Amino acid sequence: MRATVFNSPGNVTVEDRPTPFAGPGEIRLRVGAASLCASDVRVYRGEKYAAPGVIPGHEISGVVDQLGEGVTGLAEGDRVILCPIVACNACRYCLLGRRNRCVKRQTLGYDLDGGFADYLRVPASLVETGHVIKIPDSLPLDLAAITEPSACTLASLELCDVGAGTSMAIVGAGPMGLMHLLLGRALGAGPIIVSEPVAERRALAARWGADIVLDPEADDVRGAVMDATGEGADAVIVSVGINALVPPALSLVRPQGTVNLFAGFPKGGDPVPFDPNLVHYGEVILTGSQNATTDQYRRTVQLIGHVPHYDELLTNRYTVEQGPEAYESRLALAGLKSLVEFPGVDER
């Protein structure tokens, strides 16, 4: 089979790898699509670890192609997505249903082979723990590939209690900021205020339903958020991993509101000053979120096929032979989500 392989930072190649077989308890997935994540790009830049020689890709959809001995509840031909977290199912977090926090967590695409290949052998523990999730017939495999970042976004929105009439301020309209906009809108949030320095992305945010779109380099973001909300936003989402953006983001929240540091920040970055009275007298909740529970994945596949503009997030499409180009496209920040696609797999 053909595979895109991560060798070392800046070094991604296309190789022939033996096609895997499903062992006991495992399944083999024929990959339909796998999308690149900002964290894959951080690996490529040498800012985050992945095992040398691993096949990247943790945002994966496909069709069950082979069942290993003893697998129940799945059938060949099932259209599925994966929650890419291999969890121990025994630690305190796993027992709480928070496998995304498992102390022994391994992740497809970083520690174990992921989706940038024709086939993927899905580990037995992933099958056992319900991390192979069937998708509705109405959800195409290309869109299904972005279930993982969408589930992360749903987890973020739910952590911030976003529902009908929740005011939101989103710092950064990259792919993840825009997902917060689209899914927040779908959950009924409003007003939604987006701050983004790139004009093209501001235009997109406006077209995709943001109530107010601001340029942080020219506009008074705090003033506009206060005008629109009275006391500040109920929920502030920081979707850009730049430390210096945290203090101004903290100034946008209302007392008892929530600020979620959704983005990952560089290791060893500058410390961020903050006023502890924001938390004490303001009772502001300052939190972070990473990944999502299995249940949030399950609910996400029911949601994303019905969200206006959602498929427009898929801007750059590549074949597996073009894997290295897919990485370069993200470095150049061209478009929004880059997808490695396997044409002909999604036959419904």
Residues that bind Zn ion (CB under 5 A): 37, 59, 87-88, 91, 94, 102, 148-149
- C-alpha span between 214 and 339 (Å, rounded): 29
- For 221, other C-beta atoms within 10 Å of its C-beta total 22
Closest CB 84 distance from Zn ion, rounded Å = 8
Q: Which residues pair with 314 in a beta bridge?
A: 337
Nearer to Zn ion, 66 or 338 (CB): 338
Over the chain, what HEC string results? CEEEEEEECCEEEEEECCCCCCCCCCEEEEEEEEECCHHHHHHHCCCCCCCCCECCCCEEEEEEEEECCCCCCCCCCCEEEECCEECCCCCHHHHCCCHHHCCCCEEECCCECCCCECEEEECHHHHHCCCEEECCCCCCHHHHCCHHHHHHHHHHHHHCCCCCCCCEEEECCCHHHHHHHHHHHHCCCCCEEEECCCHHHHHHHHHCCCCEEECCCCCCHHHHHHHHHCCCEEEEEECCCCHHHHHHHHCCEEEEEEEEECCCCCCCCCCCCCCHHHHHCCCCEEEECCCCCHHHHHHHHHHHHHCCCHHHHEEEEECHHHHHHHHHHHHCCCCCEEEEECCCCCCC
Structure tokens at 237: 């989402």
Nearer to Zn ion, 87 or 345 (CB): 87
Question: CA angle, 96 as apex, 154 and 38 as ends, to 5°?
Answer: 35
Structure tokens at 326: 């897919």
Nearer to Zn ion, 102 or 204 (CB): 102
Cβ-contact 108, 82 below 8 angstroms: yes
Place of tokens 């983004």: 196
Nearer to Zn ion, 1 or 38 (CB): 38
